[in-house]
Chains A and B, each alone.
Chain A
Amino acid sequence: MIELLLMAVISGVLMGIIYGLIGIGMNILYGVMRIVNFAHGEFMMLGAYMAFTLNRLWGLNSLESIFVVLPLFFILGILLHALFYERIQQSDDPEIASFLTFFGISLVITSVILLIWKADPRGVPFPFSRVSWFIGPVFLPLGRLISAGVCALAIGIISVFLYRTYTGKAVRAIIENRDAVSILGIDVRRVSALVFGIGLSIVAITGCLVTLSFPAITPVQGQTYTTIAFLVIVLGGLGTPLGALLGGLVYGLAESVSSVFMPVALSPVVAFVILILMVMVRPQGLLGKVSTRI
């Protein structure tokens, strides 16, 4: 029982770091632009399918394909910004408008994936000779260990960007107060475009890592990741970028520890109940400071 719990905690922490990065990608968009990216999971799946094709074409493994997918997604982010940013900001309720717009985009991506790659589950061959390690009685899945490592590295880079660079400071300032920032002469539009690119680059990383952590990908998984991202950022605080890491850890642990005690099919219920309680009791999230409008 103790071993089982220990393993659940380790797996929860590893998945928590990955979920954390997934959440940061969505949260940075929300924080800076009030854009609720409901297509987050579908973009991830698009990245995962690109990793699959890169593997088929050039034999790249999941980690190597990040270097190809990430720049493409950065450009995609800039393009999306150019297409939708103005329109969404002009609408009566930008949050709901972006939510519905990206819901539409998620349907488009799912059908594009279905058209190109068909509905069969796909997988990228595991690149390492060992699948797992045992430390004493505890089992460590190598794929998730490496994924969590890459995510931790990415989170580190993002933190340095946000807290140690001038542009990062501008990003945090926009999250704090948009209107004041534009009066101070910061070009909100340009920073937003950059943030959109960064947000989608993060999606690219997590998308490629999905193929490393899980044996198979299917076109309809996107919604699951979108919901996880939501959960994670609501837990950590909407618009608090690094809060997502904390949210990710809480969610990862809740998911894996609850699966020790109850059927795995019900573990999403635990997650959703946490989400609902969290929003009802503390809508600003664990680390959030911004109060919601009533």
Chain B
Amino acid sequence: MNRYSALAWASIAAGLAFLFVVPLLPVSLPYFFYMMFWITMACAFNIIYGFVGYLPFGYVMFYGVGTYVTAVLWSRFHVPIPAAILASGCIGTALALAVAPTLRLRGIYFAIVNFAMAMVLRILVANLPFEWSGGSFGITLSRAYRPLTSYYFMLGLMVLSGLTVLWVSRSRLGVALRCIRDDAAAASVLGINVPVNRLKAWMIAAAIPSVAGGIEAWFTAIVDPATSFNMMVTAKTIVYAMFGGLGTVIGPVFGAVFMYGLDDFIWGRFPVLNLLVLGLMIVFLILFMPRGIAGTALRKWPRLRQVVK
């Protein structure tokens, strides 16, 4: 471990310690809750797009299913919240398994089909029987409202997903995934089981946002189809992860912290311009900085490799 990685670990530890004591400080709890939420989303998205190169343009569906499973289980079947959140993760992963055949598609086809699936799910959820999902009004969970506990749940999930990305990146799985991204045919010639490795990444990348959705539903105590299946969740996840640097471990974390801060700042002052700025940001990122902050830094200073990767 050289001094760069020591510094990186020290700053991560300091950041976590700060997040741990945030509820005691006179700062906005929702702000830090959502910061952790977006870090989690960006990290999980990184696993499937950054490492394997599949762009799930309907990524919001796992989050949306997560919110609804927790809300429905708690409000209609009186399942305790932690168990409901766990169930969210399981059902989200099961959904990923069910749509796994789409992984045969590549590039734009996969993105479009995934997007279409998210639209189908939104329409289906909005048209579920009213007693189940409350139609377009959604479900309120106000009797389960525990902002502090859900905050720490989110902190736990964020740490877990960070560690997952770190593990994926440094394990054989990560090597295999990067090979698949760069050239699937060559990877398979080298003896990498492409479908199995791809499926592993896909299920991990689905489980995390599903659990995050469950915790977020608990934190806001309200769930409705328009918010749960909002395209903007996908869009922001992509932008935050890309800004930091896809395919690196630390990039999406950094991207989410920075861009969420910026987004919140703009949103607070100019609500309509928020969309405009987000759009311009996306265009700028894709055209001028497709590798993100971490990727660009990596090109310039390759010695940073052990810190960001």
* Chain A interfacial positions (CB closer than 8 Å to B): 36, 84, 87-88, 91-93, 95-97, 99-101, 103-112, 114-115, 223, 227, 230-231, 234, 238, 263, 265-266, 268-269, 272-273, 275-276, 279-280, 283, 292-294
B104 contacts A by Cβ under 8 Å: yes
Closest 5 CB pairs of A and B: A104-B282, A107-B279, A108-B279, A104-B283, A111-B275
Which of A36, A97, A231, A283 is B286 in contact with, Cβ under 8 Å?
A97
Contact A265 B127 (CB under 8 A): yes
CB interface residues, B 184-203, toward A, < 8 Å: 184-185
Q: List B contacts of A110 (CB < 8 A).
A: 275, 279
Binds A, one of B33-41, B64-72, B111-119: B111-119
> Which listed residue (A92, A96, A114, A266) contacts B123, Cβ 8 A?
A266
Complexed CA–CA distance, A112 and B277 (Å): 11
Min CB gap A215→B, angstroms = 22
Can you give 7 contacting A-B residue pairs, CB < 8 Å?
A: A92-B290, A104-B283, A115-B272, A234-B109, A276-B116, A283-B109, A294-B106
User: Do A91 and B106 contact each other (CB < 8 Å), given the known contacts A263-B127, A269-B123?
Assistant: no
Interface size class of B (residues with CB under 8 A): 35 or more
Bound-state Cα–Cα, A95 to B124, Å: 30
Bound: A267/B109 CA distance, A: 22
Q: Which residues of the partner chain B approach A108 to less than 8 Å between Cβ atoms? A: 275-276, 279-280, 283
Q: Is B171 an interface residue, CB under 8 A from the partner?
A: no
Query: In whole Å, how far is A133's beta carbon from the nearest beta carbon of chain B?
Result: 33
- Chain B residues contacting A104 (CB-CB under 8 Å) are 278-284, 286
> Cβ of A112 and Cβ of B276 under 8 Å apart?
yes
Contact of B116 among A87, A91, A227, A294 (CB under 8 A): A227
* A266-B127, A269-B124, A283-B109 as given contacts; A96 in contact with B275, CB under 8 Å: no
What's the least CB distance linking A160 to chain B, in Å? 30
In the bound assembly, the distance between CA atoms of A258 and B281 in angstroms comes to 40
Tell me whether A292 and B281 are in contact in the complex, defined as CB-CB below 8 angstroms, given that A111-B272, A269-B123 are known contacts: no
Determine the residue in chain B with the shortest Cβ distance to A273: B120
Interface of B is mostly: helix
A197 to B106 Cα, complex, angstroms: 29
Most buried by A among B112, B273, B288: B112
- List residues 230-289 of chain B with CB under 8 A from any CB of chain A: 231, 235, 238, 272-276, 278-284, 286-288
In the complex, A231→B107 CA distance in Å? Answer: 16
Q: Is the CB of B104 within 8 A of A294?
A: yes
Bound-complex Cα distance A143 to B209 (A): 45
Residue on A with the closest CB to B284? A104
Are A283 and B290 in contact, with the CB atoms below 8 A? Answer: no
Chain B 175-189 near chain A by CB (<8 Å), digits 1 or 0: 000000000110000
Do residues A84 and B287 form an inter-chain contact, with CB atoms below 8 A? Answer: yes
Say whether B304 faces chain A, with CB atoms less than 8 Å apart.
Answer: no
Chain A residues near B107 (CB, 8 Å)?
93, 95-96, 293
Contacts of A273 in B (CB 8 A): 120
Taking a contact as CB atoms under 8 Å apart, the answer to whether B279 and A268 are in contact is no
- B111 in complex: contacting residue of A88, A96, A231, A272, CB < 8 Å: A96
Residues of A within 8 A of B274 (CB): 111
- From B115, B124, B184, give the contact of A294 (CB < 8 A): B184
Judging by beta carbons under 8 Å apart, are B279 and A106 in contact? yes
A102 CB to nearest B CB, Å? 9
Do residues B286 and A100 form an inter-chain contact, with CB atoms below 8 A?
Answer: yes
Cβ-closest chain A residue relative to B111: A99
Q: How far is the CB of B121 from chain A (nearest CB, A)?
A: 10
Contacts of B217 in A (CB 8 A): none
Across the interface, do A91 and B108 meet the contact criterion of CB distance under 8 Å? no
Contact assessment for B272 and A101 in the assembled complex, using a CB-CB cutoff below 8 Å: no
Do B108 and A99 touch across chains, with their CB atoms under 8 A apart?
Answer: yes
Of B101, B106, B124, B238, the residue contacting A293 (CB under 8 A) is B106
